[in-house]
Structure 1
Amino acid sequence: MVDELNKDQSTEQKILTAAKAVFIEQGLAGARMQDIADKAGINKALLHYYFRNKEKLFDMVFAEAAAKFMPRISMLFEADVPLFDKIRLFVDNYMNLLTENPFIPIFVLNEVHKNPEEVIMKIWGGRMPPINEFAAQIHREVAAGTIKPIKPIHLMLNMISMCIFPFVGRPIITTVFNLGEHGFNAMIEERKQQVADFVIDALRP
């Protein structure tokens, strides 16, 4: 019984690893169950035994990525950390997530207009993002005069959009700037500091 359970877990993880690779290469829309089965080294019937369709499989891959990332961001939002340090940590963690899971931004953009609450719950593990303490921290810094007046929503949108766009616009960026995979990844590493510096410099009074 234990051996069968271990085998099931091993096969399921092999499928999830293969599916993630296919989603990265082809996106959700372009991915086929046969491609995932081939990548996992199993037949399509066995794949369907574990996962009925690619949407269910994508949900698992998405949830696995979110489970690793969102607790760190939730803790960061609520941590007693200086605002500028918090911005740098957020940018670094968020861009690491997108580097490891580049299919996420396109999926969110495609799905969020259909059912925004469901997408938010999926990203944040069944609850709304805990942004209240982060928002309160921004208000305190503004009141103290340590940063320029800014609404929390604008600061959050500035950070998130500047992190996400290179991944959404990757085909255009790599073509226009003649970047291969190595060049794109090197640019992303540079961009972590560029984005944080840009946001922080814009906040300084």
Structure 2
Amino acid sequence: MAKTKDENTEEQILKAAKSIFQTKGMDGARMQEIADKAGINKAMLHYYYRSKQLLFEAVFKNAFSLLAPQLNAILNDDSSIEEKVKKFTSNYISFISKHPYLPNFIIQELNRNPNFVLSLKENKNFPNIEKFKKQVDEEVSKGILKPISAEQLFINIVALNIFPFVAKPLIMAFTNINDSAYKQLLEERKTEVANFIVNSIKNP
């Protein structure tokens, strides 16, 4: 019974922390507020997670463990590069829209601790792009795609999908839109980004 109770408490903590981090971000979140939302006292919260940073990492890794298998499956299925670009973009934007704290957290952690990514790679579903690389080379050699390296293409895909999330305030200021319009903009990018990339790499 004790083990079940411990697991349930930890699940409550992660659920509460995720909610607070989503609305207030890492800096705005307070451990007391997370403890209150989880229905426990602050001492109990610190028993499970000694610091806000460790709790944030736990929430992040939990979410990443849901995203990584999706992206890995797309990169390693038998669809064409064009289809992979479309599915990757749609899945990524849909997922990050529900977990908007993830991209900024990755950048923050990589700047603070470059070895952080090594702990992510321990996840058995960490995206593997070897098949993607071979496919790009094959489609280039067949004339389906214009000459491009798989690494450059992958960076383009990731960058175009991540930037609107990490630069949200800047984009909203430049475009003079409110939060509702921004969400609509992200929804439209599921096809806009994919079409932009596909049109740039496909031979006519």
1:72 corresponds to: 70
2:186 corresponds to: 188
Superposed CA offset, 1:4-35 (max 9, x none): 43333332222111111222223223322122
Question: What is the correspondence of 1:33-182 to structure 2 with a 5 Å cutoff?
Answer: 33-122=31-120, 125=123, 129-182=127-180
After TM superposition, give the deviation of residue 124 of structure 1 in Å.
6.2
Q: In the superposition, relative to structure 1, how do residues 69 and 187 fare at CA in structure 2: closer, same or farther (>3 Å)?
A: same
Paired-residue identity, %? 38
Aligned partners of 1:38, 1:180: CA distance in 2, in Å?
Answer: 31
1:29 corresponds to: 27
Which segments of 5 or more consecutive residues in structure 2 lack a partner in the other structure? none
Aligned partners of 1:114, 1:52: CA distance in 2, in Å?
Answer: 19
Aligned partners of 1:22, 1:109: CA distance in 2, in Å?
Answer: 20
Relative to structure 2, which stretch is displaced further, 5-14 or 55-64? 5-14
Contact 2:68 2:126 in 1 (8 A): no
Q: In the superposition, relative to structure 1, how do residues 171 and 38 fare at CA in structure 2: closer, same or farther (>3 Å)?
A: farther
Amino acid in the other structure paired with 1:165: F
Amino acid in the other structure paired with 2:74: L
How much is the aligned-residue C-alpha RMSD, in angstroms?
Answer: 2.0
Q: Equivalent residue of 1:146, what SS?
A: coil
TM-score by length of 1: 0.89
Aligned partners of 2:41, 2:86: CA distance in 1, in Å?
Answer: 45
Aligned partners of 1:58, 1:187: CA distance in 2, in Å?
Answer: 28
